[in-house]
Chain A
Amino acid sequence: MDASIILYLLDGIVFGLVLSLIAAGLTLIYGLAGVLNLAHGELLVVTTVTAAVLSGSLGLPLPLALIAGIAATLAVAVVLDRVVLSPIYKLEGEERVLLGLYITLAFSIFLHGGIITTFPLAYLTLNMPTPNIELLGLSFRTAQVVAGVSSAVILLGIYLFLKKTWTGRAIRSLTQNETGALLVGISVKKYRLLVFMVGAVLVGMAGIVRSLIATVAPESGLEFTILGLLVTVVGGIRSVSGTMAAGLVIGVVYTFLVVVVGTYLAYVALLILIMVLLLTRPYGILGERW
C-alpha cells in the first residue's frame, strides 16, 4: 500500500508539473497582454501533431521532429499575437479582456477544426529505451522520472529567467505597472511578442513531456486549455510562482481523486473544489492581487 502511494504521488507530481508548464505560459500572457489565451491548449496540440506527422509519415529523426514542432508552435503564437489579436490591443479594461477571450476562443476553434480534419490520426507517444528503473525496492517508470525532472528543470529555468535576467525583469515590470515600465523605456509590443513566444515554447515542452507519459491525441487541446485555465485561476492569475504551486496541488489532488472515486467524479470533485476556491480566494492560493 505504502509503495503504491509513493507511485501515485509521483504520478500526481509529474502531471502537476505538466499543468504548471501550461499554466505558466497562460499566466505570463495574461499578465503582460491582458489576454486569457483560450487557444493555449491548441498550441500544445500543434507541437505534438507537427512532431507526430514529421516523425511518422515523413520519417524525420525524432529530435528534429520535436524541434520542428516547437518551431511550428512559435510561428502560430507569432501569428496569434501579431495578426489575430491585433484588433484588441486598441481596447482597454474589461472590453479588452472579454474580446481577447472571444477571439482566442474563435482561434482555438479554427485551429481545432483544421487539425482534426487534416491530421485526425496524429497521436504522439514517446517511448523511453529502458522502461523501468529499480530504486529502494520500487519500480519506477523511466519515462515518468525523465518527464518530472525535465519539466522541473524547465520551470526552474523560467523562474530564474524572470528573476535574474534583464529581459525577465522587464517582463515583470510590465506586468506590475505598464505605465511605469513604459516611462523607463520598455517596449510593450516587443515584450508582448516575446511573452507569447515564451508561452508557446513552454506549452510545446509540456506537450512533449506529456507524450513521454501518455499519448497526446490531436483533439485534446480544449482539455489542456481548461486544465491550464483552472490552474491559472487557482494560482492567482498574475502570479507565476502561485501558478507553479497550484499546478502541483491540482495534479496531486486529481491523481488521488481518480484512484479513489474514478475519472468522471474526480473531475467533478476537482471542479467543485476550484469553484469554491474561486469564490473564497479570488486572488489565488498565494494571495497575490490581479
Chain B
Amino acid sequence: MVTDKYVKTRLYVLAALILIYIALPLPFINTPYVVFILAQMTFFTIFAYSFNFLFGFTRQLFLSIGAFAGIGAYVTGILLRDGIAGPIEAVALSTVVVAIVGWAVSILSVRRKLVAIFTGIFTLAITLVFSNLVTGLVDLTGGETGFRIRGVSLLFLDNLPYYMRYYYIALTTLLIVTVIAFYLIYYTGTGYAYRCIIDDELSAELVGINVQRIKTLTSLLASALLGFSGALYSLFSQLISPSYYAFGSIDLPVQIIVILGGRASLLGPYIGSAIIAVVNESLRFLGPLTQLLYGLILMLLLAFFRNGIVDFVKRRVAPWFY
C-alpha cells in the first residue's frame, strides 16, 4: 500500500468524483443534447483511460485507439445487423476479439524490442489497415457511408431517456475501471511496478519486475476495455461508419485529453475530457477552423504544459494545503 500524506485526499477525491458523475445529468433531464454531450464525454474518458494505461503507465505508444474501438464497433454492428447474435453476446465477442488483437500487438512489440516510436508507427499502420479495410469491403461494412443499427435493448435501463441510458452504462464501466485501477495502483504491488516502469524500464527489470508480463497484461486489459466501450459507443451513436473511428475523430482527442489531464494519472482523463467537452462546445461556432485551433492548443500544451493539470496541481497547489 502506498502510504503518503495524500492517502485521505485521494479517497475523498475518488468519492466526490463518483457522486458528481452520478448526479451530473440529472439537472439536464429535459435537455437531451446536454446529456448526449455528457455521454460522449464519458465514452472519450474511457478511451483515454485505455490509452493512458497503454502509454502513460507502460510506455506502449498505441496509435490505434480509434481502430481498436472501431473493430469492437464493427464486430458488434455486423453481428446485430445480420441477426447472428444478441446484443450481449455481440458485445462480449467484440471485447474478446479486440483484447486478443491488442495482446498480440503488445507481445510482438515487446518480443521484438520495438521502442515506443516504432510501436507507434506499427500501430499507426494498423489504424490505416483498419480504415482501408472497412472502406474497401463495401459488401460487409457499407463502405464510406457505413450502416445503421437501431432499437437495441439495454434491459432495465430502457426506462431512462435514450442518451441517459448510454451515459449511465458508460459511467458504470468507467467507474468500475477507475476503482479497480485505484485499488491496483495504490494498494498492491502493481502500482510500484508501474511507477518503476515509468521511471526507468531497465532498472525495473533489474529489481525483478517482469516488465514484459506487465506490459502484455496491461495491453490485454486496456484493449478489452476498448473493445467493450467501442461496441457500446456504436450502439450509442447508432451509425457505424469509418469516419467515426478515424484517427482524427478518436485518437487525436484522446491524445489531447491525456496530455492535458496528465499522463499516468487516474484523475487526468476525467479532467482532460471535461475540459475538451466544454471547449469543443464553446468553439462549435468556428466550424472547420476548430482544427487549426486544436493544433495550436496542442502545440502550446506540449511546449509549456507537458505534464498536465494533475501534475501541476500536485506540484504547485497541493503544497499550500499540506
Contact = CB atoms under 8 A, between A and B. Distances in A.
A179 to B, nearest CB: 21
From A99, A108, A229, A275, residue with most partner B Cβ within 10 Å: A275
A230 B137 CA distance: 23
Given A97-B117, A264-B135, A271-B128, A113 B255 contact: no
A41 B133 CA distance: 23
A102 B296 CA distance: 12
Contacts of B255: 102
Interface string B103-133: 0000010001011111011101110110011
A187 B290 CA distance: 39
Interface stretch (B179-187, B299-307, B314-322): B299-307
B306 A109 contact: no
B252 interface: yes
B294 A113 contact: yes
B303 A109 contact: no
Nearest to A232: B121
Given A113-B294, A114-B292, A278-B118, A272 B129 contact: yes
A71 B129 CA distance: 36
B289 interface: yes
Interface in B41-83: 61
Interface string A73-87: 000000000001001
From A87, A106, A230, A279, residue with most partner B Cβ within 10 Å: A106
Contact of B136 (A105, A107, A113, A262): A262
Nearest to B300: A106
Nearest to B59: A94
Given A113-B294, A278-B118, A265 B288 contact: no
A56 interface: no
B298 interface: yes
A117 B116 contact: no
Contacts of B291: 109, 112-113, 116-117
Given A98-B117, A275-B125, A267 B303 contact: no
Interface string A241-273: 000000000000000000000111101100110
B129 A94 contact: no
B298 A275 contact: no
Contact of B125 (A106, A108, A109, A230): A230
B293 interface: yes
B295 interface: yes
Nearest to A93: B115
Contacts of A111: 295
Contact of B299 (A97, A103, A114, A279): A103
A268 B132 contact: yes
A282 interface: yes
A84 B298 CA distance: 11
Question: How would you classify the secondary structure of chain A's contact residues: helix, strand, loop or mixed?
Answer: helix
Contacts of A282: 112, 114, 118
Contacts of B128: 226, 267, 271
A116 B288 contact: yes
Interface in A55-69: none
A87 B125 contact: no
A101 interface: yes
A251 to B, nearest CB: 17
Given A113-B293, A226-B128, A271-B129, A106 B299 contact: yes
B298 A94 contact: no
B118 A113 contact: no
A106 B298 contact: yes
A262 B135 CA distance: 12
A287 to B, nearest CB: 16
Contact of B117 (A36, A108, A264, A275): A36
Contacts of B252: 109
B216 to A, nearest CB: 16
Nearest to A107: B299
Contact of A275 (B115, B122, B136): B122
Given A106-B299, A279-B112, A282-B114, A271 B125 contact: yes
A216 interface: no
Contacts of B115: 94, 97
A233 interface: yes
B112 A106 contact: no
Contacts of B124: 226, 229
Contact of A117 (B61, B108, B289): B289
A161 interface: no
Nearest to A120: B288
A87 B178 CA distance: 34
A120 B304 CA distance: 32
Nearest to A226: B128
From B115, B122, B295, residue with most partner A Cβ within 10 Å: B295
Given A109-B298, A112-B291, A113-B295, 11 more contacts: A36-B117, A87-B302, A87-B303, A94-B115, A101-B117, A102-B298, A110-B292, A113-B288, A116-B288, A229-B124, A271-B132
Interface of A: 36, 84, 87, 94, 97-99, 101-103, 105-114, 116-117, 226, 229-230, 233, 262-265, 267-268, 271-272, 274-275, 278-279, 282
Which 10 A-B residue pairings sit nearest by Cβ, starting from the closest?
A: A264-B136, A110-B295, A113-B292, A113-B291, A109-B295, A106-B298, A106-B299, A87-B303, A271-B125, A264-B132
8 contacts: A97-B117, A102-B298, A117-B289, A265-B132, A268-B129, A271-B129, A279-B112, A279-B122
